[in-house]
Amino acid sequence: MPTQEDVVYLKECIFNGQMDFEGQKRAYYFMLYTIWAFGFVGFTHGFIVQQFVITYYWIGVGTLIATVVTLPAWPHFLTNRIAWKEPPEEEQVGDEEEEEEEEKPKKKKKEKKESKIEDLDEDDGENKPKKRNKAKKEK
């Protein structure tokens, strides 16, 4: 007779939807083999009575059975839990220093751009490199 703890565990497994990697593998192979087996039986039965629609009925029944067995996360799909590593805690002081370091290069880039713009304004186009005609170079 199942205890109250067993019923609560079953409810948690089904409604949380947790399934480990081995459980996913088992569910996949159960679904695969079930549908193929029902398809084979259905094809054979349909061939004997000469109605292909019977194959569809068998495959439909196999799909429903596979869905009922594999879609909910039954407890037997959660037997190999993975112990996840705890994330490291980050300090607030380190975050502030990183933000300051990120701001410094941005300021330098802005200063370089401003100095280039000022240089162009002062030149007024007098020191622009002249384009040479390729035809003159070939002669």
> pLDDT: is 99 or 82 the higher one?
82
- Please state the rounded mean pLDDT for residues 77-106: 70
Q: What is the pLDDT of residue 118?
A: 60
Q: What is the mean pLDDT of the chain?
A: 77
Asked if residue 68 has pLDDT above 80, the reply is yes
Cα dist from 128 to 5, 66, 105, 119, 124, whole Å: 84, 76, 29, 12, 9
Q: Are 14 and 73 in contact (CB under 8 A)?
A: yes
Tell me, what's the pLDDT at 49? 95
Q: 36: which residues sit within 8 A by CB, 6+ positions away?
A: none
Phi, psi of 117 (to 5 degrees): -65, -40
CB contact at 8 A, 71 and 17: no
pLDDT at residue 75 in the model: 80
Higher pLDDT, 17 or 58: 58
Residue 77's pLDDT band (cuts 50, 70, 90): confident
Higher-confidence residue: 42 or 12?
42
For the chain, domain boundaries = 19-77
Instruction: For residue 104, name the pLDDT band (cuts at 50, 70, 90).
Output: low
What is the reported pLDDT for 56?
95
pLDDT confidence tier of residue 130, bands split at 50, 70 and 90: low
Helix locations, 4-138, DSSP H = 4-16, 21-49, 53-70, 92-123, 134-138
Q: Which of 104, 22, 31, 29 is nearest to 63 (CA)?
A: 31
72 and 14 in contact (C-beta within 8 Å)? yes
Phi then psi dihedrals of residue 27, to 5 deg: -65, -40
